[in-house]
Amino acid sequence: MFTEASNFAAGVDQAFKIIFGISIFILIGITTVMITFVVKYRRSKHPKAEQIKDNTILEITWTLIPLAIALLMFYYGYTAFRPQRDFPKDAMNVTVVSKMWAWSFVYPGDKESDVLVLPLNKAVILNLTSLDVIHSFYIPAFRQKEDCVPGKVNQMWFIPTMAGEFWVLCAEYCGMNHSYMEAKVKVVPESEYKAWINALPKKAAEPEGLTIIKKNACTGCHSIDGTKLVSTSFKGIYGKKSIVLTEGKEHTVTVDAAYINSSIFEPDKDIVKGLPKGVMKSYKGIVRDDEVSKIIEYLKSIK
């Protein structure tokens, strides 16, 4: 009925159908018994309530039947899920990089693409990463979903079993443009995949300052493309004027090396007007001085 485009899709669908079927059975069962009782034991017919005690057979029945139903759901869920955690040794690896609000895919040899192109019928392991907040990597047609957590690498694997284009969506609310956070998976025959990956250019080397900013998750609060997140964007920050409160007194500073340095190590000294105090923590002992210089160099470069 729905596109099942990976080796795991049928198992997930089967578990879903069984649980859904049981739910309908229970809904109809309970509703029927309820309506029957309402009619049969209504007050005009049955004015005096009767106490019933200790019916062993009944009690065993209503324990065993739900137990069997729960175990049945567990069995189908578990058998569909278990193989998804047994990662094959010879699969190809692709790193998924998520950030507000886009996906990118890094292939071996540092080649980067914003479309996930995969060879048909080949196992692939995806290493899921995030540069800012928690996202959830979701390919509905593959019935695969897993969180991308900053500072951690989660994995998923599957075999695409159908050629074509499928949606990648973010399934964890991650801010304003969450619903636009989408990409395409393109499953193609292996020869076509080989030609595509060979033609894909190498990723341009990243400025060191940017690597440090990402590593320390500054990008969770400060964007580099002008978007306003928790705090001001880093884009064009160097040399601009900032209105800050120092010990409650308002004044204007020019964003220069000294100000950036004190913003990183003593964020509560000068508070940018209109932004909350105490949200940014001091990076004393976390970011080294030589790293601060690289950050400053990078901030100068993004106008």
Residue ranges that bind Cu ion, judged by CB under 5 A: 135, 170, 174, 181
CB of 55 or CB of 246, closer to ligand HEC: 246
User: Which entry of Cu ion, ligand HEC, none binds 280, CB below 5 to 8 A by partner kind?
Assistant: ligand HEC
230 binds ligand HEC (CB under 6 A): yes
CA atoms of 303 and 289, how far apart (whole Å): 23
210 binds ligand HEC (CB under 6 A): no
CA atoms of 225 and 101, how far apart (whole Å): 11
227 binds ligand HEC (CB under 6 A): no
Q: How far is the CB of 144 from ligand HEC (least distance, A)?
A: 30
Considering only residues 100, 116, 133, 264, which one is a binding residue for ligand HEC as defined by CB under 6 A?
A: 264
Given the DSSP bridges, would you call strands 135-139 and 241-246 parallel, antiparallel or unpaired?
A: unpaired
272 binds ligand HEC (CB under 6 A): yes
Alpha-carbon distances, residue 141 vs 51, 128, 267 (angstroms): 54, 18, 46
CA atoms of 101 and 172, how far apart (whole Å): 11
CA atoms of 204 and 59, how far apart (whole Å): 69
User: Which entry of Cu ion, ligand HEC, none binds 125, CB below 5 to 8 A by partner kind?
Assistant: none
Which among 191, 172, 190 is positioned nearest to 181, based on CA atoms?
172
CB of 172 or CB of 291, closer to ligand HEC: 291
CA atoms of 77 and 16, how far apart (whole Å): 8
Amino acid of residue 88: P
Considering only residues 217, 227, 265, 297, which one is a binding residue for ligand HEC as defined by CB under 6 A?
A: 217
Sign of CA dihedral 10, 15, 16, 21: positive
Q: How far is the CB of 99 from Cu ion (least distance, A)?
A: 8
Residues that bind ligand HEC (CB under 6 A): 216-218, 220-222, 230-232, 237, 242, 255, 260, 263-264, 267, 270-272, 275-276, 279-280, 283, 287, 295
